[in-house]
Amino acid sequence: MDTSLFIIQTLNGLQLGVLLFLVASGLTLTFGIMDLVNLAHGSLYMIGAFICASITLWTGSFLIGILLAIPATALVGLAVEMTVIRNLYPRDHLDHVLATFGLILCFDTLVQIIWGPEGIAVPLPKWMDGQVLLPGGVVFASYRLIIIGVGLAIAAGLYFLVVHTRIGMLIRAGASNRTMISALGINIKALFTGVFAVGACLAGLAGMLVSPITGTSIGMGNEIIITAFVIIIVGGIGSMKGAFVAAILIGLIDTLGRSYLDDVFKLVMNAEVAETAAPALSAMLIYIIMALILAFRPQGLFPPKTR
Amino acid sequence: MTADAMAPILRIENLCKSFGGVTATDAVGLEVLPGETHAIIGPNGAGKTTLISQLSGLLMPDSGHVYFKQCDITRLAAHKRAHAGLARSFQITSVFMQMSVLDNVALSVQARAGHSFHFWTPARTIRKLREPAMEKLEKVGLQDRAGDITSSLSHGERRQLEVAMALASEPDLLLLDEPMAGVGTEESARMVDMFKSLHGMTMLLVEHDMDAVFALADRISVLVYGRVIATGTPDEIRSNQDVVRAYLGEET
Amino acid sequence: MSIQQTEQSKPSSAGPGAASRSGQRLNAERIITLIILAALIVVPVAAYYGDARYWVDLATRLVILSIAATGLNFILGYGGMISFGHAAFIGLGAYAVGIPVFHSINDGFPLIASNNGFLHFVLAMAVCAVFALLTGAISLRTRSVHFIMITMAFGQMTYFAIVSIEKYGGDDGLTIDLRSEWPLITFDHPLVLYGFCLASLFVVMYLVHRMVNSRFGMVLQGAKQNEERLRALGINVYNYQLTAYVISGIICGYAGALLGNFTTFISPEMMDWTRSGELMFMVILGGVSFLFGPLIGAAVFLLLEESLSRFTIHWHLPFGVLLILSVLFIRGGLSGLLQKLGGARDR
């Protein structure tokens, strides 16, 4: 096996993993604390990407694009929370699924009306758009390394926030026992709105970060949201640590599965069969993992304590 | 049959259960005779709920035995006890809110009648389900509400429905876990009348409401700190010095 | 409240007030039902002879989707099992027509190569039964949102499995060159196909109606309302739910086989999770646990889609808004709303 290719694919998997974590972290918080199934979380990922793309093209700076798009995405998140989502908290999961499905339709169409049916290609600044030589002679895209760095930094920041601050204490309390936060006399409405907006920012940021690689497209959120749900179920609903571990795991499994599964299959079956079976299985891999986890450990890998 | 008639339906021998260092059931021995209403009373924390949970199979004892109709059921799963003829009414009302009152009881009859893999005949036209169900509703005095949706019942009425559902499984022994809890005075008087009319059915009653217990029970066992300190008729219990000291004294 | 609940007051000798109330309900529902049935029979026939094929096609699609939605309603509405992967059954059913036809034209796989309608439909239902049994056996170990997500995961697995089989078109889909062949009738005649679908819908609705009111149905509905209590009564809930799940899958597979015959083009896209969402929406929109709910829901869904898409290419926007509003403000679906307007709702 080609070692440098393996390292590159591992890094690619890591990069996918941190992006997935950004989306899944917000999802696991809203799910864990508000018990909200928000399918439209992926729409915020898309909105973030499109806003950032516009600003980048307009100002010529990707950095400014990101800096302005983060608060803009937060505003969109706030608006959605205060108009629709807030009314869904007391409802059951079925209503959540349907209403947020409606939100997806709205957002997809709105984006199409504003930005047109074509996606936007986002140019990278020169200094990010290069390659770096890693130890071991591996050449890797520097922007992907930046994504990994930013993702890990944010993960560390979130970890600090959740474990070491008062807000984080409330969030953890809320994720494990919802009635407890009301007993503490906290303004739940504000906490929920705040958490939702933070989640929106994180998802939006993931969209912004990915847009120079894949461009923006309508429906980009609908692909990632399902993966994000897989992650929070695998990790344990409401658990930040679980979301992180599962996101990295899923990112690696997905990337490595797609590149190496056919080689593995060729060891045990003939080449022709392997070439049909491998892509099928690698696409299904994360769902298979989720089904296994749900069947044998329904609470996920790292369920919040005292749930 | 005559010899069997006075053999206890339920016999508890030396039952022990502790949680950590706390002994919740301490060598409890108890017999429930056919046809009697046997009440278990005791101050809060005496271990009444723990005891009844072990009888219905929700908790497994650490040691000791429970015999039901001469069979050892100490380790039998809860749903198998239900099939064996040991029915339980829940402390927290647990009924099917969106069905009619009669449907609730009929479903209980149906569960007793065997498996439910019958896809064709409308269940509401099956007389061997509906008639026993209606009969049970009459026994608990809910026959006028048979067609109403269960969520429209008052708290006390839901309790009565619980009892009707328990009766519908044609039990040999009815475990009643605080049937009066949370029921207003007027309704609880009505429920006492209902239980009086059920007299002859073997019942094990755990209850806080002393008026109800003394009005209903043939025999009373007093549980204090997980131990049975006395068993006897209401009059015997009333005059038992240990009981008065340990329990009734606190009340008055 | 619903057909099934209306009936429950009949044999239960409720007071005279309740009886007249249920009579009122029955009337309101009867009228609407009759109007729908009449429209389903008259409109396509008139449209066909009036050279408006569009309406025949729309009605066919409506009826097929109604069958699938009725299948979903069986477990979702009556059984409380929120399956988010039912589009997979429709897709499998459609491919159970497409693949045998593909082989009968292109050789290979003589075991299933056939244009025989009986084989297609039996295969569709058998495949879905097995798939439902396997996935249901795992899914039903979970509850609430986990169940939603695991059924979705199985749906996505099927989607990706079909995408990756390039022999049958993969992502691009598969054109069904010949429709299922039957003795005496031909699906190539639009009205015959429509009539077959409509008859199927009536049969499926009648079967579901019988099942939800049977002893099995009582257990199924009981499990939705209070699973714990059912267990305490000594009923093994899992077995009943799994059976219902399989039946529901079979119904959707049957609908899928019809859909394949109708569109003559099938692709993995019809199994995408958004399709499952739409199917769910039809059921909820119509009102869960109403026998006619799925039909009403599917009708409103398709009519909205058709009329809005004529009005604007961005019809998804008003559609999404309506979806959100209907969740927030119409509880109990359209069937519930109709009864509320009729003043016959007692809540």
ipTM of the complex: 0.84
Q: Tell me, yes or no, if A263 comes closer than 8 A to chain C by beta carbon.
A: no
Q: Which of C278, C285, C310 lies closest to C54, judged by CA?
A: C310
| Number of domains observed in the structure of chain A | 1
If asked whether residues B100 and B209 sit together in one domain, one would say no
Phi, psi of C175 (to 5 degrees): -90, 130
pLDDT surpasses 50 at C200: yes
Radius of gyration of chain C (CA): 20
Residues B222 and B162 in one domain: no
| Structural domain contains residue A192 | yes
Give C104's DSSP letter. H
Same domain for B210 and B153: no
Q: Are residues B166 and B103 in the same domain?
A: yes
Q: What pLDDT is stored for residue B39 in this prediction?
A: 94
Question: Could you say which of B151, B170, B189 is where a domain stops?
Answer: B170
**pTM for the full model?**
0.86
Task: Write down the residue that tokens 């986890």 correspond to.
Answer: A293
Is it the case that chain B and chain A have 3 or more CB pairs lying under 8 Å apart?
no
Give residue A157's identity as a one-letter amino acid code.
G
Q: Report the distance separating Cα A162 and Cα A170, nearest Å.
A: 9
Site of tokens 């349907």: A98
Q: Which domain holds residue B222?
A: 1-85+173-252
Distance from CA of B241 to the nearest CA of C (A): 40
**Which candidate from A39, A109, A294 shows the least CB-CB separation from C146?**
A294
A-contacting chains (≥3 CB pairs under 8 Å): C
In a domain, A130, yes or no: no
Terminal C-alpha separation, chain C: 10
Q: Which two tokens stand for residue B161?
A: 């429905």
CA A54 to chain centre: 21
Question: Cβ C234–B83 below 8 Å, yes or no?
Answer: yes
- For C113, the token pair is 């190569």
B90 lies in some domain: no
Give me the helix-helix angle, B155-168 and B185-197, nearest 10°.
Answer: 20
Q: What is the pLDDT of residue C17?
A: 39
Beta bridge partners of B23: B18
Q: Residue B206: which CATH number?
A: 3.40.50.300
For residue C166, give how far its alpha carbon lies from the nearest alpha carbon of chain B (Å). Answer: 41
Cα separation, B30 vs B40, whole angstroms? 10
Please name the member of A103, A226, A283 whose beta carbon is closest to the beta carbon of C320.
A103
Task: Give residue-wise pLDDT tens across range C267-316.
Answer: 999 998 889 999 998 998 888 778 888 998 899 899 888 888 888 888 88
In a domain, A262, yes or no: yes
Residues in chain A: 307
The answer to whether residues B9 and B107 belong to one domain is no
Q: Does residue A246 belong to the interface with chain C, where contact is any CB pair within 8 Å?
A: no
**Residue B212 located in a structural domain:** yes
Q: How confident is the model at residue C122 (pLDDT cuts 50, 70, 90)?
A: very high
> Is B44 at the interface with chain C, CB within 8 A?
no
Last residue of a domain, one of B140, B170, B200: B170
- Distance in Å, alpha carbon of B226 to nearest chain C alpha carbon: 26
- Specify whether B13 is located in the same domain as B74: yes
Range with lowest mean pLDDT among A282-296, C176-190, C264-278: A282-296
CB spacing of C157 vs A91 below 8 angstroms: no
Does B142 lie in the same domain as B180? Answer: no
pLDDT in tens, C249-259: 999 999 999 99
We report the CATH number of the domain holding residue A33 as 1.10.3470
CB contact under 8 Å between C13 and B111, yes or no, is no
Backbone conformation region of residue A12, classed left if phi is above 0, alpha if psi is from -120 to 50, else beta: alpha
The yes-or-no verdict on residue C334 having pLDDT over 90 is no
Measure B164 CA to nearest chain C CA, in Å.
Answer: 13
- The predicted model gives A235-259 an average pLDDT of 91
Query: Could you give the 3-state DSSP secondary structure of residue A216?
Result: coil
Helix axes C237-263, C190-213, angle to 10 degrees: 170
Q: Is residue A29 over pLDDT 50?
A: yes
Residues B28-65 have pLDDT tens digits of: 999 999 999 999 998 877 888 889 889 988 889 999 99
Residues in a beta bridge with B30? B12
Q: Is B225 left (phi over 0), alpha (psi -120 to 50) or beta?
A: left
- Name the residue range of residue A288's domain: 10-123+138-296
Helices assigned H by DSSP within chain A: 3-34, 41-59, 62-80, 86-88, 93-115, 142-164, 166-176, 178-183, 188-214, 220-235, 240-268, 271-296
Q: Tell the residue number behind the tokens 């309704």, with chain if given.
A: B187
Question: Residue C332: helix, strand or coil by DSSP?
Answer: coil
Chain C partners within 8 Å of A34 (Cβ): none
Which of residues B136, B170, B204 is at a domain's end?
A: B170
Residue C218 to residue B107, Cβ atoms within 8 A:
yes
Considering only CA atoms, which of C279, C159, C136, C64 is closest in space to residue A97? C279
Q: Are residues B177 and B165 in the same domain?
A: no
Residue C80 contacts residue C283 (beta carbons within 8 Å): no
Has residue C244 got a pLDDT over 90?
A: yes
**Could you tell me the domains of chain C?**
3-341 (1.10.3470)
In 3D space, the residue among C322, C76, C14 whose CA is nearest the CA of residue C223 turns out to be C76
Contact A140, A11 (CB under 8 A): yes
What are the C-alpha distances in Å from B58 to residues B53, B78, B81, C231? 5, 6, 10, 12
> Between chain A and chain C, how many beta carbons pairs sit less than 8 Å apart?
126
**If you average pLDDT over every residue of chain A, what do you get?**
88
C-beta of residue B167 within 8 angstroms of C-beta of residue B174: yes
Same domain membership, residue B81 and residue B177? yes
Give the chain B residue whose CA is nearest to the CA of C237. Answer: B116
Location of structure tokens 């009881």: B105
Q: Is A131 helix (H, G, I), strand (E, B) or coil?
A: strand
pLDDT at B238: 87
Nearest to C73 by CA among C295, C297, C289: C289
Pick left, alpha or beta for residue A235 (phi over 0 → left; psi -120 to 50 → alpha; otherwise beta). Answer: alpha
Lowest mean pLDDT among B137-141, C25-29, C207-211: C25-29
Residue range B200-224: mean pLDDT, rounded:
90
Confidence at B240, pLDDT banded by 50, 70, 90: confident
Same structural domain, B79 and B116: no
Q: Which residue of C has its CA nearest to A233?
A: C146
- Name the residue in chain B with its Cα closest to that of C240: B117
**Angle CA A82–A83–A85, to nearest 5:** 75
Q: Considering its fold, how many domains does chain B have in total?
A: 2
What is the distance in angstroms between the Cα of C80 and the nearest Cα belonging to chain B?
Answer: 13
- Residue A273 touches partner C, C-beta closer than 8 Å: no
> What's the average model confidence in pLDDT over A248-254?
94
Q: What is the DSSP string of chain B?
A: -HHHHTS-SEEEEEEEEEETTEEEEEEEEEEE-TT-EEEEE--TTSSHHHHHHHHHTSS--SEEEEEETTEE-TT--HHHHHHHTEEEE-SS----TTSBHHHHHHHHHHHHTS-----SSBGGG-HHHHHHHHHHHHHHT-GGGTTSBGGGS-HHHHHHHHHHHHHHT--SEEEEE-TTTT--HHHHHHHHHHHHHTBTB-EEEE-S-HHHHHHH-SEEEEEETTEEEEEE-HHHHHH-HHHIIIIIHHH-
Measured between alpha carbons, how far is A111 from A95 in angstroms, rounded to an integer? Answer: 24
What does the DSSP assignment read for C267-287? -GGGGSHHHHHHHHHHHHHH-
| Measured distance CA(A90)–CA(A35) in Å, rounded | 9
Characterize the bridge pairing of strands B219-224 and B227-232.
Answer: antiparallel
3-state DSSP assignment of residue C82: coil
Please tell me which of the candidates A105, A226, A279 has its beta carbon nearest to residue C323.
Answer: A105
